[in-house]
Homo-oligomer: A and B are copies of this chain.
């Protein structure tokens, strides 16, 4: 695949052929063959992206993140520094004789999807299978143990919903079922756990 205006820092290893235009990969990072990286992404230093991972366009991944097989990142998401993903709910060393059997196939692998425009704050930890809704924000240091609805603001360990956030990233103000952004004036309606643009 022709690469148009892709920057790869000389200390990094990009083994995939599937990397979109205008994407940049900074120092000491490793992207394995078989990963798919979109256009116009920015991948920080000391990152690792495993085979079969998909990262869509316009994603920012800060330093020190590992994206394991099973992780998929929607367009325009922000993955903060030191965010930790997982893909196994009962990890043992596959080299431990009592656990080796479980790792003979990929049945142990639990995928996780981060939807478009979401933010995972610095050092957040995502338990395998907890999907992150579009434009949700997970606060720095939160430990996500359940799937997160779109536009939710999640804080703490385990992470609890403490509000709702706008596509622009600011907290929404609520009046009954109506949510509005004091910053950009976008309006939303809350119905149950679902926030939709008005």
Chain B residues in 8 Å Cβ range of A125: 122-123, 140-141
A146 within 8 A of B: no
Across the interface, do B86 and A140 meet the contact criterion of CB distance under 8 Å? yes
Given contacts A64-B64, A127-B140, contact A28 B46 (CB under 8 A): yes
A69 to chain B, nearest CB (A): 13
Near B by CB (< 8 A), chain A positions 81-109 give: 81-82, 84-86, 90-99, 102
Chain B residues in 8 Å Cβ range of A94: 42, 60
Across the interface, do A99 and B168 meet the contact criterion of CB distance under 8 Å? yes
Near B by CB (< 8 A), chain A positions 13-65 give: 13, 27-28, 30, 40-42, 44-46, 48, 57-60, 62-64
**Chain copies in the assembled complex:** 3
Chain B residues in 8 Å Cβ range of A80: 86, 91
A131 within 8 A of B: no
A179 to chain B, nearest CB (A): 16
The listed residue (B40, B45, B95, B102) touching A59 by CB distance below 8 A is B95
A154 within 8 A of B: no
Across the interface, do A117 and B95 meet the contact criterion of CB distance under 8 Å? no
Q: Which residue of B lies closest to A155 (CB)?
A: B158
Q: How far is the CA of A35 from the CA of B134 in the complex (A)?
A: 36
Q: How far is the CA of A21 from the CA of B188 in the complex (A)?
A: 56
Across the interface, do A30 and B58 meet the contact criterion of CB distance under 8 Å? no
Q: How far is the CA of A94 from the CA of B40 in the complex (A)?
A: 10
Q: Which residue of B lies closest to A80 (CB)?
A: B91
Q: How far is the CA of A41 from the CA of B93 in the complex (A)?
A: 9
A66 within 8 A of B: yes
